[in-house]
Amino acid sequence: MTSPCEKVIRRDISRTYPQYDFFKEKHGLGQESLFNVIKAYSLYDREVGYCQGIAFIVGLLLMHMPEEEAFAVLVSIMQDYKMRDMYKPDMFYLGLCVYQLECLIQENLPDLYRHFRSENIHTSMFASSWFITLFSNQLPLNLVCRTMDLFLSEVRRLFNECLN
């Protein structure tokens, strides 16, 4: 099937992990796998469609598993871990996360908070990409992998606690 997001997905593919050989070659295996998984998800969840941050999560998954498994894990992250709310068109939950981080900075790092205010630096300027990529475009790959492991492990634990 054709996705209404295909043109935008194609445009963004080369911006996803360009420093890694797997994703460097235009229309190479990595870029095509990335395109296939993201396109499939945009068709699977038409409300979310596509958001650039998804590409970094999918890219990380593709470094460790084939397309079919990456798609299944992406669906789980989006549904079971409630990440899809971050990518909905209104991005309400992304804004909520940024607001919560700003409150934490204000409460726990008041000097930094005042400095940000004096320099007219808004938390959304740096934190939005952190949240929509699960830090995968900000940290070294070994740390990104560990962060993803912790995210999946911790969120699963919290859900299990809520169910019990």
Task: Quick: pLDDT tens for 101-145.
Answer: 999 999 999 999 999 999 999 999 999 999 999 888 888 888 988
- Within a domain: 161: no
- Within a domain: 47: yes
Please tell me the distance from the alpha carbon of residue 24 to that of residue 10, in angstroms, as a whole number: 14
Q: What is the pLDDT of residue 134?
A: 86
Cβ partners under 8 Å of residue 141, min gap 6: 20, 63
CB 55 within 8 A of CB 26: no
Cα 38 versus chain centre, distance: 12
- Within a domain: 138: no
- Within a domain: 144: no
- Residue 11's domain comprises 6-81
Q: What is the pLDDT of residue 157?
A: 67
Cβ partners under 8 Å of residue 2, min gap 6: none
**CATH number for the domain that contains residue 31:** 1.10.8.270
| Spans in the chain with pLDDT lower than 70 | 155-164
**Coil/strand/helix, residue 123:** coil
Please tell me the distance from the alpha carbon of residue 74 to that of residue 84, in angstroms, as a whole number: 10
Both tokens of 133, joined, read 């990529």
CB 67 within 8 A of CB 36: yes
- Within a domain: 24: yes
- Within a domain: 158: no
- Within a domain: 153: no
How many independent structural domains does the chain possess?
Answer: 1
- Within a domain: 141: no
